[in-house]
Amino acid sequence: MINSEKNFPALLEALHQLEFDYADGEGIDFEPSSNFLSQEETRSWIRAWTGNKELEGAEYRIFGQDGTGGYAAFWLVRSTDNVLEQPIVFLGSEGELGVVASNFSEYLWLLAGGIGPYEAISYRGLEREENPVFTSFAEQHSKSPRLGPWQVVAKAQAEFPVFVEGVKSLCR
């Protein structure tokens, strides 16, 4: 079961070896983790984030955060054991919330466009220079055709329109 493992898939681990440069606000605001948060840590976080003490958080696999502590996670909603096929979501420290990519392959194109999970939700339409390091990684490893960052976000949000309202409905 994918939710019991803390270890990253090899491709996510390789991605997190690349430099995520904040560049004084002109880069990607993302701090990659070296493994998934434990189920206990995830449970504690989702309960604090929503104020709902009944939640378990088993549907999230947190793999990084922005500088303020907002989390990027795989949202385990597809009937597959491959975590890289799951959509990627962002839940920010100030209540920012949304789906940022339909899967890991498309997430790579988001990063290639100079946009991270935080920027995808907080700065919609932000124009950034293409990141050559992430572009090269996406060209080598993505199973998806090349997409611009805002195409990635729009596609994901159209595919998973219930995410935001679903999470909001759990808040107390």
Q: Judge contact between 109 and 72, C-beta under 8 A.
A: no
Check residue 4 and give its pLDDT.
Answer: 56
User: Residue 99 half-sphere exposure, CB side, CA atoms within 13 Å?
Assistant: 27
How far is residue 82's CA from residue 162's CA, in Å, rounded to a whole number?
Answer: 22
The boundaries of the domain holding residue 157 are: 2-170
pLDDT of residue 3: 45
CB 89 within 8 A of CB 118: no
Number of domains in the chain: 1
Q: Note the pLDDT tens digit of each residue in 69-87.
A: 999 999 999 999 999 999 9
Q: 153 is written with which tokens?
A: 């976000």
DSSP H or E run through 89: strand 88-91
Longest dimension (CA), the chain: 44
Token couple for 110: 């988001």
Kindly report, residue by residue over 139-164, the tens digit of the pLDDT.
999 999 999 999 999 999 999 999 99
Query: Phi and psi for 71 in degrees, rounded to 5?
Result: -105, 140
Cut 0.75: pTM above it: yes
Spatial CB neighbours of 108, under 8 Å, sequence gap ≥ 6: 15, 134, 137, 138, 141, 142, 144
